[in-house]
C-alpha cells in the first residue's frame, strides 16, 4: 500500500508566495514518506503546469497527488481531472488550501503562515497515503424536470426544456399563470403588453404534449435527490368544470355576494369570491376562492359549471431535476412610510401600473383626476436603516417607463421624479433621455435626507432638499404619490425550505458561484432562475431561465448520472444493528439487512449523500465515511499536531 | 488541439472564445454536441482572463477563469482555432451554415512548444505589449501572457526582423517560418455569436489628455497593474515610476456621451472602478482615491453593499462631470469639474487619473454574415429580435447571440446570456424540422 | 498544557464543513481578516458527522482546543444538524470529563457560509481563552 506521491506547491503568482515561503514548504515536505516528486509552480492551474503534472504522473507511475494552492472550491475538480488524464484514480488526489487559509488569512505573519502551510501540506500527504481509488456510482436519471412557478421565467424554461425533448411538469401555486408580468401593461423595449407576452407563452406551452401544467398546485414534500426527485404536489380544485359555459359563469360572478380585495390589482379594486384575473387570463376559466366563499349557493343556481364536489388531489411525480422560478414579492411599505396608508394619495408602483391599465382616457384615482404625479424612488431598497441593503435593479427603468406611458395615455400629466441617482443601466439610458426630453422633472435627495410627504390644506406635498439644484428645498404638490417599491424575496418560502435551498445575505436564493455559476445551487440537481435569485427585469429573467433550463437538461439528458462515491460504509463484523444510524440518517438511506446469522445495517448507495450523520451515533463505531475514515482523520491530526 | 485532420463539419460554430463563447461551447458540448470555437486572439479567455479581481466577490479573476478555460480547451467535444478569423458565413438552408475561416500562422508548431520562453529571451525586438495594454514591452517572439491558453509562443511577424535568434535557441525546433495562412471551409448547423465588446479609446476625448499626459491611464491599464500577472510588482505612475498616492477615477469616459456618439450606459464601469478603488486601498494603504461620477449604478446582486463598503473604506465619491484635465510640470494632473452637490466649478489635483472607459460594439459583427443579414441595433450591437421572450435570438434563424455582442453586461449577465444562447442553440439542433 | 508551540499560540483544530463553514473561513482569508496561524482546519461534509473519538484523539496529540464550525440551520443535509452536532458536543464533554480535560476546551458555533467575521472573532476569543488558561 506504499504510494508514490507527487506534491505541488503553488505560488499563485504571488498570492501565496508573497506571504508563504513556498520553497521552504517544499523542502519541509519533500522527504515525507512516499513523496517522490515535490515541486513549486507559479500557477498550478495553468495549462503548462497541468501538462507537466500529467507527464509526471505518467512517467513516474504516481498513485497519489497533492496540490497546495487556493480553495478547493476553485480547483479541486481541475486537479482531479489532471490526475485522471495521467491515468490515476482521481480520488487519490488531495487538495490543500494554503491561500485563503494560510497566505491570505495570515498575511500579517509570514512565518506563521509558512509554518501552517507546511503542516497543512503534511496532513494532506498523510491523508493521500491512506486514500483508496474510488469509482463513481452510476445511477439512472429520470428524463423529466419539475419547473416550480409559472411566471414568465418558469413558462419560458418549460418551453425550452420541451423543445429539447424533455418532459416538464410546470407547477403554479396560483390558479392562473403569468406571475407578475401578467399584471403589467406595455413592456419596455418592445411594445408588447405583459398580457400578450403571457398569452403567447401560454398558447405555446398548453398545446405541447410533454408539458403538464398544474395550477393551484403546491409542492408539499420532496424526497430523493438528483436524477430521482420524488415530488408530491397538492392541487386545490377550482370548483369550476373545465368545459364551462361562459355566459352563465359571467352571471354567476355577478351573482356572488362576496367582495374581497383583489390582489391581482394589489388591492386597489375588489373582486368576488368567484373570479377571473383579467379578461384573458390562463387557464381561461374562473376559480372559486374557497377561503372567502360562504357557500351561499347563488352561483350554483345560475351556472351548471360550478362544482363544489371537486376534491383536493395529491399528485406524485418523479423528475431528474427541479428548476425554481418562484419569483419575488413587491415590497410593501410600512404604515406611514412616505405617508403610505396615512394619506390616500400615496400608492406603490405596482398599484400605479394597475391604475394606468384600468383607467381609460382620463387618469383618475379615488374619483379625482390626476395631473401631478410624484415618484419617490428606492422605497424598500438601498435602505440605510432597514435590512434591504440591495438595489432592486429594475425599478428606475420600470418607473420611468410607466411615467412615459402615463403621459402617452393621458393628457396634461406632469411627472416629478424624486430619485437617489438614476440607474437606467445599459441601453435603458435612452429611456431616461427620452423622459428628460419629454419634460419630466428629476430631483435627487441626499442619502441621509429623504423626501418628506405631508398634508397641507387638503393637498399632498412632497418636499426634498435637491442635490441637483445645490441643496435647494423644493416642494411639489402631488395628486398622486407613487412609491417606487422594489423586489423582495418571497415571504412564503415553504418550497425553498422544503428543498433546503440556501439563501444569500439578501435572502434571495443563493447560487453556487456569483460570477460563473449563477443558476446552479449547492443542492445537486436543483437550479434557480428569474427573480427568486435576485432582482431582474424580464430579459434578464428569461436569460437566467434558459440558462437554468440548459443546466437542468444536462442533468437529465443522458438518462444517467455518475455520483460521488463518497458514502458511508458499514463494518459488518462490528455492526450489531441497534438502528441508531437509520434513525440519524436524514435521507432514509439505511435499512436493516440479514448477513449470515445476524442483522446488520445496510447503506443504499444511490441515496446516501455522504453527510456522515450516522457516524457519531454508532455505539460500536462500525461506520466510516469513505475518504473520511478514522485512519485518515487521525493521520491528519497526527500531521497537524506535528507528531 | 489543432491537427491536420480537423473535421470540417460541426454541430455548432461559436464565434469568440471569451467567457460567453466558452460558456456557450461548454453547454453545447456537455449535451453531446460538437463545437468549433473561432478566436481571433492568440489565447482564449477573452477580457476576463486579463482582469484583476471580480466584483463584488473579489475572487481573483485569473483563478476562476483558468479552470473554465482549461475545461474548454480539453473538452473532447470542443475544437478551438485561435489566431483565426471568420471571413464569411452564409446560411444555405435551415441547419446548414457554411463558414469560411482564415487561420493565421503562429510561426510556432503549437504541439511542440513547451512554453520555455527561451525564444522570448533571445529575441532582440521590443515593442509594446498589447496584453499589458502597452504598459510594458514584449518581444516579437513571445508567449502572450503567463496564463494564456494555449500557453505557447507566437511570432509577431509584422515586427519580426527575421534575425533567426529564436530558431537557434528553441530546444524543440518548433519555430517554423514557413507556416502559411490556412483557409477552412466549415459546415455547422447553428451559430453562436459571442464576439464580445471593444473598449472606448479615450484618445477621442482630447480634453482628458490621454496619450499625451503620461499619468492618465485607462481602467484596463489599471486592471493590468492590479492583476496577479501584473507588469510591475506594485502600482506605478507610467510617467516617472513613482507610486501614486492620490488617484482619481473619471467615470462615464466614452459612455452616456452623445458628443462621442455613445449615448448609452456601459453598465460595468461604476462597479469595476469601485472594485479597483477597493483594491488600490488595499495595495496602497496611504493612498487617497476619488471617484468622479454622474450616477453610481450599483444595481446587481451584492453591488449596492459593495458600493457602501467602498464608501466605508474611505473612497471619496464626488458627483460631478470632468470638464478638462491639465498636466502640471511634475506630472500631476489638475481636474476641472462641476461639483453637483455644492453647485460650483472646482479644481483638484491628483497624481494619477484613471479613465473608466466604456463598452463599445465589436465592429466585426457587421461583416460576419453574407447573404442573409445579421441585423444590428441602433448602437451597432447585434439586434435582439425578441428581447423579452427569447433574448438571444437574432435576425437570422439559427444564429444566437451570447454575452456583450448584444450590449454591455457584466460577467454573470454574460454567463446567463450565454446559457440562454446555448439553450436555444441546443433546441434548434434537437428540434425536428 | 503542552507548550513549545509556534508563535506560542495554543493549537486549535477546527472541524469545518465543505459547503457551509469552509466558504466563510475562505472568505475570512479573502478579506484578510487575520486570526492566529495555529488554527488548522480539517474539512468534512457535515458537522454532525464528527466522531467524538476524533476530538479526543486531537487532545491526546497535543491540541489545546477543538472547535466545531457547525453548519447550523444552513446545513444542506437537513434541519436536524444543529441538534445532532449539539449531541456530539454533549457526548464528547462526558468523555472529556472522564479524561480530566476541561470542557471549555471544546467549542462549537454555527458558522454560516458568509460568517467570516464571526469565525475570526470565535478564533480570537478561543485563542485568548486558551492562552490565559495555559499560563495559569
Yes or no, beta carbons of C26 and A97 under 8 Å apart? yes
For A565-577, the pLDDT digits (tens) are 999 999 999 999 9
For residue B67, pLDDT over 90 is answered with no
Residues of B in contact with C31 (CB under 8 A): 58
- The answer to whether residue B58 neighbours chain C at the CB level (below 8 Å) is yes
Residues of A in contact with B420 (CB under 8 A): 542-544, 546-547
Question: Closest by alpha carbon to A74, among B24, B307, B53?
Answer: B53
Yes or no, beta carbons of C6 and A628 under 8 Å apart? no
What pLDDT score was predicted for residue A533? 97
Q: What is the pTM of this model?
A: 0.82
Q: Quote the number of domains for chain C.
A: 1
What pLDDT score was predicted for residue B4? 47
Percent of chain B residues topping a pLDDT of 90: 85
For residue C88, pLDDT over 50 is answered with yes
Distance CA B154, CA B137 (A): 15
Q: Which residues of A, range 238-267, sit inside 8 Å of B by Cβ? A: none
For B231-254, the pLDDT digits (tens) are 887 899 998 999 999 999 999 999
| Average of per-residue pLDDT across A117-145 | 95
Nearest CA in chain A to C76: A500
Contact B72, B26 (CB under 8 A): yes
What pLDDT score was predicted for residue C136? 34
Total beta-carbon pairs less than 8 A apart between chain A and chain B: 231
Yes or no, beta carbons of C45 and A628 under 8 Å apart? yes
pLDDT band at A1 (very low <50, low <70, confident <90, very high): low
Instruction: Report chain A's mean pLDDT, rounded to a whole number.
Output: 93
Range in A65-74, B79-88, B381-390 with the lowest mean pLDDT = A65-74
What pLDDT score was predicted for residue C3? 35
Question: Closest by alpha carbon to C68, among C116, C10, C14, C121?
Answer: C14
Selecting from 3.30.310, 1.10.287, 1.10.540, 3.40.50, what CATH number does the domain A5-133 have?
3.40.50
For A617-640, the pLDDT digits (tens) are 999 999 999 999 999 999 999 999
What pLDDT score was predicted for residue A224? 79
| Average of per-residue pLDDT across A270-288 | 86
The shortest CB-CB distance from A540 to any of B56, B308, B413 is to B413
Nearest CA in chain C to B58: C30
What pLDDT score was predicted for residue A240? 92
- The answer to whether residue C131 neighbours chain A at the CB level (below 8 Å) is no
Yes or no, beta carbons of B282 and C30 under 8 Å apart? no
Span B200-359 CATH architecture: 3-Layer(bba) Sandwich (3.50)
What pLDDT score was predicted for residue B151? 84
Domain ranges of chain A: 5-133, 145-236+312-327+490-556, 246-302, 330-488, 567-625
Percent of chain A residues topping a pLDDT of 70: 99
For residue C12, pLDDT over 70 is answered with yes
Q: Which residues of A, range 344-403, sit inside 8 Å of B by Cβ? A: 381-382, 389-391, 393
Question: Closest by alpha carbon to A139, among A560, A460, A571, A484?
Answer: A560
ω before B56 within 30° of 0 (cis)?
yes
Nearest CA in chain A to B116: A48
Higher pLDDT residue, A470 or B412? B412
Percent of chain C residues topping a pLDDT of 90: 65
Q: Write a three-state SS string for C12-57.
A: EEEEEECCCHHHHHHHHHHCCCCCCCCEEEEEECCHHHCCHHHHHH
Yes or no, beta carbons of B58 and C32 under 8 Å apart? no
Residue C125 within any structural domain of the chain? yes
Distance CA B392, CA B16 (A): 15
Is the CATH number 3.40.50.1860 carried by domain A567-625?
Answer: no
pLDDT band at C5 (very low <50, low <70, confident <90, very high): very low
- The answer to whether residue C30 neighbours chain B at the CB level (below 8 Å) is yes
Q: How far does C2 lie from chain A, in Å, by closest CA?
A: 11
Instruction: Report chain B's mean pLDDT, rounded to a whole number.
Output: 93
| Average of per-residue pLDDT across A387-393 | 95
Yes or no, beta carbons of A637 and C58 under 8 Å apart? yes
| Chain B partners (3+ C-beta pairs within 8 A) | A, C
Specify the fold of B9-104+181-196+362-430. FAD/NAD(P)-binding domain (3.50.50)
Residue with cell 506630472: B331
User: Which of C30, C32, C34, C114 would best serve as a mutation to test chain B binding (most B beta carbons within 10 A)?
Assistant: C30
Distance CA A14, CA A269 (A): 64
What pLDDT score was predicted for residue B38? 98
The shortest CB-CB distance from A112 to any of C7, C52, C77 is to C7
What pLDDT score was predicted for residue B62? 78
Q: Which residues of A, range 404-463, sit inside 8 Å of B by Cβ? A: 421-430, 433
Contact A585, A223 (CB under 8 A): no
For residue B229, pLDDT over 80 is answered with no
Q: Which residues of A, range 454-473, sit inside 8 Å of B by Cβ? A: 467-471
For residue A139, pLDDT over 80 is answered with yes
For residue A280, pLDDT over 70 is answered with no
Q: Could you tell me which CATH number the domain at A145-236+312-327+490-556 has? A: 3.50.50.60
Yes or no, beta carbons of A633 and C32 under 8 Å apart? no
- The answer to whether residue C97 neighbours chain A at the CB level (below 8 Å) is no
Contact A272, A251 (CB under 8 A): no
Cell of A479: 395628486
For residue A122, pLDDT over 90 is answered with yes
Domains B9-104+181-196+362-430 and B200-359 share a fold: yes
Distance CA A274, CA A173 (A): 17
Nearest CA in chain B to A537: B388
Instruction: Report chain C's mean pLDDT, rounded to a whole number.
Output: 88
The shortest CB-CB distance from C37 to any of A116, A510, A640 is to A116
| Average of per-residue pLDDT across B65-90 | 91
pLDDT band at B3 (very low <50, low <70, confident <90, very high): very low
A312 burial (CB, 10 Å; 0-12 / 13-18 / 19+) is exposed
Residues of B in contact with A518 (CB under 8 A): 412, 415-416
Distance CA A367, CA C16 (A): 63
Distance CA A532, CA A289 (A): 26
Range in A2-6, A64-68, C65-69 with the lowest mean pLDDT = A2-6
Yes or no, beta carbons of A612 and C54 under 8 Å apart? no
What pLDDT score was predicted for residue B116? 77
ipTM (interface pTM):
0.95
What one-character-per-residue DSSP string does A2-65 give? ---EEEEEE-GGGTTTTTS-HHHHHHHHTTSTTEEEEEEES-TTSHHHHHHHHHHHHHHT--EE
What pLDDT score was predicted for residue B2? 42
For residue A243, pLDDT over 80 is answered with no
| Average of per-residue pLDDT across B196-218 | 97
| Average of per-residue pLDDT across A76-94 | 94
For A34-55, the pLDDT digits (tens) are 999 999 998 888 888 899 999 9
CB atoms within 10 A of CB A296: 13
| CA A253 to the chain's CA centroid | 38
- The answer to whether residue C86 neighbours chain A at the CB level (below 8 Å) is no
Q: Domain residues for C20?
A: 9-131
Yes or no, beta carbons of C29 and A105 under 8 Å apart? yes
Domain ranges of chain B: 9-104+181-196+362-430, 118-169, 200-359
Domains A330-488 and A567-625 share a fold: no
At the fourth CATH level, the homologous superfamily of domain A330-488 is FAD/NAD(P)-binding domain (3.50.50.60)
Q: Name B224's Cβ contacts closer than 8 Å, sequence gap at least 6.
A: B50, B52, B132, B133, B135, B230, B231
- The answer to whether residue A212 neighbours chain C at the CB level (below 8 Å) is no
Residues of A in contact with B422 (CB under 8 A): 550
Amino acid at each position: 500500500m506504499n504510494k508514490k506521491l507527487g506534491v505541488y506547491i503553488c505560488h499563485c503568482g504571488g498570492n501565496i508566495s508573497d506571504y508563504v515561503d513556498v520553497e521552504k514548504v517544499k523542502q519541509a515536505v519533500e522527504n515525507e514518506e512516499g513523496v517522490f516528486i515535490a515541486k513549486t509552480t507559479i500557477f498550478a492551474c495553468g495549462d503548462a503546469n497541468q501538462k507537466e503534472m500529467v507527464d509526471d504522473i505518467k512517467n513516474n507511475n504516481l498513485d497519489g497527488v497533492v496540490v497546495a494552492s487556493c480553495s478547493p472550491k476553485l480547483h479541486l475538480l481541475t486537479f482531479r481531472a489532471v490526475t485522471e488524464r495521467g491515468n490515476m484514480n482521481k480520488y487519490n488526489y488531495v487538495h490543500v488550501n494554503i491561500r485563503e487559509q494560510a497566505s491570505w488569512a495570515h498575511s500579517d505573519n509570514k512565518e506563521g503562515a509558512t509554518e501552517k502551510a507546511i503542516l497543512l501540506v503534511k496532513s494532506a500527504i498523510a491523508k493521500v497515503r491512506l486514500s483508496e481509488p474510488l469509482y463513481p456510482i452510476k445511477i439512472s436519471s429520470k428524463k423529466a424536470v419539475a419547473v416550480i412557478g409559472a411566471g414568465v421565467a418558469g413558462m419560458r424554461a418549460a418551453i425550452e426544456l420541451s423543445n429539447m425533448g424533455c418532459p416538464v411538469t410546470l407547477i403554479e401555486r396560483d390558479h392562473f399563470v403569468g406571475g407578475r408580468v401578467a399584471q403589467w401593461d406595455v413592456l419596455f423595449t418592445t411594445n408588447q403588453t405583459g398580457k400578450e407576452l403571457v398569452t403567447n407563452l401560454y398558447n405555446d406551452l398548453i398545446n405541447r404534449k410533454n408539458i403538464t401544467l398544474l395550477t393551484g398546485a403546491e409542492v408539499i414534500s420532496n424526497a430523493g435527490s438528483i436524477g430521482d426527485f420524488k415530488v408530491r404536489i397538492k392541487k386545490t380544485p377550482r370548483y369550476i368544470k373545465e368545459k364551462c359555459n361562459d355566459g352563465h359563469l359571467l352571471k354567476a360572478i355577478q351573482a356572488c355576494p362576496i367582495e374581497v380585495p383583489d390582489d391581482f390589482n394589489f388591492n386597489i379594486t375588489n373582486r368576488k369570491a368567484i373570479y377571473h384575473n383579467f379578461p384573458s387570463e390562463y387557464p381561461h376559466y374562473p376559480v372559486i376562492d374557497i377561503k372567502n366563499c360562504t357557500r351561499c349557493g347563488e352561483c350554483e343556481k345560475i351556472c351548471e359549471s360550478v362544482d363544489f364536489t371537486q376534491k383536493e388531489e395529491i399528485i406524485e411525480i418523479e423528475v431528474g431535476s427541479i428548476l425554481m422560478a418562484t419569483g419575488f414579492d413587491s415590497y410593501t411599505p410600512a404604515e406611514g412610510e412616505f405617508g403610505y396608508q396615512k394619506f390616500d394619495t400615496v400608492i406603490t408602483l405596482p398599484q400605479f401600473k394597475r391604475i394606468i391599465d384600468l383607467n381609460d382616457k382620463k387618469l383618475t384615482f379615488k374619483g379625482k383626476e390626476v395631473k401631478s404625479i410624484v415618484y419617490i424612488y428606492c422605497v424598500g431598497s438601498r435602505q440605510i436603516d432597514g435590512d434591504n441593503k440591495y438595489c432592486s435593479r429594475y425599478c428606475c427603468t420600470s418607473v420611468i417607463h410607466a411615467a412615459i406611458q402615463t403621459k402617452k395615455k393621458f393628457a396634461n400629466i406632469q411627472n416629478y421624479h424624486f430619485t437617489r441617482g438614476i440607474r437606467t443601466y445599459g441601453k435603458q439610458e435612452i429611456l431616461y433621455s427620452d423622459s428628460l426630453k419629454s419634460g419630466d422633472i428629476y430631483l435627487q435627495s441626499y442619502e441621509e435626507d429623504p423626501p418628506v410627504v405631508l398634508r397641507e390644506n387638503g393637498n399632498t406635498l412632497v418636499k426634498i432638499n435637491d442635490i441637483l439644484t445645490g441643496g435647494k428645498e423644493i416642494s411639489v404638490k402631488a395628486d398622486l404619490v407613487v412609491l417606487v417599491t422594489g423586489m423582495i424575496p418571497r415571504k412564503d418560502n415553504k418550497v425553498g425550505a422544503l428543498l433546503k435551498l440556501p439563501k444569500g445575505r439578501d435572502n434571495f436564493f443563493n447560487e453556487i458561484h456569483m460570477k460563473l455559476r449563477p443558476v446552479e445551487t449547492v443542492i445537486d440537481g436543483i437550479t434557480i432562475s428569474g427573480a427568486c435569485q435576485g432582482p431582474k427585469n424580464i430579459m434578464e429573467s428569461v436569460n437566467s431561465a434558459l440558462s437554468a433550463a440548459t443546466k437542468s437538461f444536462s442533468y437529465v439528458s443522458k438518462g444517467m448520472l455518475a455520483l460521488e462515491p463518497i458514502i458511508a460504509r458499514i463494518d459488518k463484523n462490528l455492526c450489531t444493528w441497534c438502528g441508531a444510524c437509520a434513525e440519524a440518517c436524514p435521507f432514509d438511506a439505511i435499512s436493516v439487512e440479514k448477513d449470515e446469522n445476524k442483522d446488520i445495517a445496510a447503506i443504499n448507495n444511490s441515496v446516501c449523500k455522504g453527510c456522515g450523520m450516522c457516524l457519531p451515533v454508532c455505539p460500536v463505531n462500525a461506520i466510516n465515511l469513505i475518504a473520511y475514515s478514522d485512519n485518515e482523520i487521525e493521520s491528519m491530526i497526527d500531521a497537524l499536531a506535528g507528531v | 488541439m489543432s491537427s491536420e485532420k480537423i473535421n470540417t463539419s460541426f454541430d455548432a460554430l461559436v464565434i469568440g472564445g471569451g467567457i460567453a463563447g466558452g460558456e456557450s461551447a461548454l453547454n453545447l458540448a456537455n449535451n453531446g454536441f460538437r463545437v468549433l470555437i473561432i478566436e481571433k486572439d492568440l489565447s482564449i479567455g477573452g477580457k476576463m482572463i486579463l482582469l484583476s479581481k471580480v466584483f463584488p466577490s473579489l475572487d481573483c479573476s485569473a483563478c476562476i477563469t483558468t479552470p473554465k478555460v482549461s475545461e474548454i480547451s480539453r473538452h473532447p467535444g470542443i475544437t478551438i482555432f485561435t489566431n483565426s478569423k471568420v471571413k464569411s458565413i452564409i446560411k444555405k438552408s435551415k441547419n446548414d451554415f457554411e463558414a469560411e475561416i482564415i487561420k493565421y500562422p503562429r510561426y510556432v508548431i503549437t504541439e511542440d512548444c513547451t512554453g520555455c520562453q527561451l525564444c522570448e529571451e533571445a529575441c532582440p525586438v521590443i515593442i509594446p505589449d498589447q496584453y499589458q495594454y502597452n504598459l510594458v514591452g514584449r518581444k516579437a517572439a513571445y508567449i502572450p501572457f503567463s496564463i494564456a491558453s494555449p500557453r505557447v509562443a507566437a511570432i509577431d511577424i509584422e515586427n519580426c526582423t527575421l534575425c533567426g535568434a529564436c530558431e537557434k535557441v528553441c530546444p524543440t525546433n518548433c519555430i517554423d517560418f514557413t507556416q502559411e495562412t490556412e483557409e477552412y471551409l466549415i459546415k455547422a448547423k447553428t451559430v453562436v455569436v459571442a464576439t464580445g465588446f471593444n473598449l472606448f479609446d479615450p484618445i477621442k476625448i482630447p480634453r482628458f489628455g490621454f496619450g499625451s499626459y503620461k499619468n492618465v491611464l485607462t481602467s484596463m491599464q489599471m486592471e493590468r497593474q492590479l492583476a496577479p500577472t501584473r507588469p510591475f510588482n506594485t502600482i506605478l505612475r507610467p510617467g516617472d515610476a513613482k507610486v501614486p498616492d492620490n488617484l482619481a477615477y473619471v467615470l462615464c469616459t466614452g459612455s452616456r456621451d452623445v458628443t462621442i456618439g455613445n449615448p448609452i450606459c456601459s453598465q460595468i464601469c461604476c462597479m469595476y472602478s469601485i472594485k479597483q478603488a477597493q483594491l488600490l486601498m488595499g495595495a496602497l494603504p496611504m493612498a487617497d482615491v476619488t471617484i468622479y461620477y454622474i450616477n453610481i449604478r450599483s444595481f446587481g446582486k451584492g453591488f449596492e453593499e459593495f458600493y457602501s463598503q467602498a464608501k466605508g473604506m474611505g473612497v471619496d465619491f464626488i458627483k460631478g462631470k470632468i470638464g478638462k484635465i491639465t498636466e502640471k510640470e511634475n506630472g500631476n494632473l489638475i481636474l476641472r469639474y462641476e461639483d453637483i452637490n455644492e453647485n460650483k466649478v472646482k479644481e483638484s489635483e491628483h497624481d494619477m487619473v484613471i479613465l473608466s472607459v466604456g463598452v463599445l460594439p465589436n465592429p466585426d459583427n457587421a461583416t460576419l454574415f453574407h447573404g442573409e443579414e445579421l441585423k444590428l441595433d441602433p448602437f451597432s450591437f447585434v439586434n435582439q429580435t425578441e428581447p423579452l421572450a427569447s433574448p438571444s435570438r437574432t435576425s437570422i434563424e439559427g444564429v444566437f447571440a451570447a454575452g456583450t455582442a448584444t450590449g454591455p453586461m457584466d460577467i454573470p449577465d454574460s454567463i446567463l446570456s450565454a446559457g440562454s444562447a446555448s439553450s436555444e442553440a441546443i433546441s434548434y439542433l434537437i428540434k425536428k424540422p | 498544557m503542552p507548550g513549545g508551540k509556534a508563535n506560542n499560540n495554543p493549537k486549535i483544530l477546527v472541524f469545518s464543513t465543505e459547503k457551509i463553514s469552509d466558504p466563510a473561513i475562505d472568505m475570512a482569508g479573502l478579506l484578510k481578516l487575520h486570526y492566529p496561524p495555529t488554527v488548522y482546519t480539517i474539512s468534512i461534509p457535515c458537522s454532525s458527522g464528527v466522531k467524538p473519538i476524533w476530538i479526543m484523539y486531537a487532545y491526546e496529540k497535543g491540541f489545546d482546543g477543538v472547535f466545531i464550525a457547525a453548519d447550523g440551520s444552513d446545513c444542506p443535509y437537513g434541519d436536524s444538524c444543529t441538534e445532532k452536532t449539539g449531541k456530539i458536543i454533549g457526548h464528547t464533554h462526558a468523555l472529556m470529563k472522564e479524561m480530566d480535560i476541561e470542557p471549555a476546551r471544546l467549542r462549537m458555533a454555527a458558522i454560516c457560509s458568509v460568517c467570516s467575521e464571526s469565525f475570526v472573532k470565535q478564533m480570537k476569543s478561543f485563542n485568548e481563552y486558551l492562552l490565559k488558561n495555559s499560563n495559569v
